[in-house]
Amino acid sequence: MGLLVQKFGGTSVADADRMRAVADHIARTRRQGSDVVVVVSAMGKTTDELIRLASDVSRSQPGRELDMLLSAGERVSMALLCMALSDLGIPAASFTGSQAGILTDAVHTKAKIVEIRPVRIKDAVASGKVAVVAGFQGMSTEREVTTLGRGGSDTTAVALAAALGADACEIYTDVSGVFSADPRIVPDARRISRISFEEMLEIAATGGRVLALRSVEFARRHNVPLHVRSSFTWERGTWIVEEEPGMEQAMVTAITHDTSEAKITVAGVPDQPGIAARLFRALADHAINVDMIVQNTSSNGMTDISFTVPKDDLETSLTISSSLAPEIGAREVSADEGIGRISLIGAGMKTSPGVTAAMFEVLSKESINIEMISTSPIRISCVVRDEAVERSVQILHEAFELS
List interacting residues with a copy of itself (CB under 8 A).
16, 19-20, 50, 53-54, 56-62, 64-66, 68-69, 71-73, 75-76, 78-80, 82-84, 86-87, 92-94, 96, 99, 143, 145
DSSP 232-252: TT----EEEE---TTS---S-
Kindly provide the residue ranges of all beta strands, DSSP E only, lying in 62-213, ordered along the sequence: 92-95, 102-104, 113-116, 130-134, 137-140, 145-147, 168-173, 194-196
- CA–CA gap between residue 257 and residue 396 (Å, rounded): 12
Which lies closer to a copy of itself via its Cβ, residue 145 or residue 384? 145
Least distance in angstroms from the C-beta of 64 to a copy of itself = 7
- CA–CA gap between residue 269 and residue 276 (Å, rounded): 9
Which lies closer to a copy of itself via its Cβ, residue 137 or residue 180? 137
Closest by CA to 257, choosing from 368, 353, 162, is 368
Which lies closer to a copy of itself via its Cβ, residue 75 or residue 311? 75
Give the chain's count of helices (H) and strands (E). Answer: 12, 20
Q: For the chain, what percentages of helix, strand and coil (3-state, to nearest 5) are there?
A: 40, 25, 35
Contact (Cβ atoms closer than 8 angstroms) between residue 14 and residue 109: no
Which lies closer to a copy of itself via its Cβ, residue 77 or residue 206? 77
Least distance in angstroms from the C-beta of 75 to a copy of itself = 4
Least distance in angstroms from the C-beta of 10 to a copy of itself = 15
Which lies closer to a copy of itself via its Cβ, residue 109 or residue 316? 109
Least distance in angstroms from the C-beta of 192 to a copy of itself = 35
Which lies closer to a copy of itself via its Cβ, residue 53 or residue 277? 53
Least distance in angstroms from the C-beta of 138 to a copy of itself = 15
Least distance in angstroms from the C-beta of 33 to a copy of itself = 24
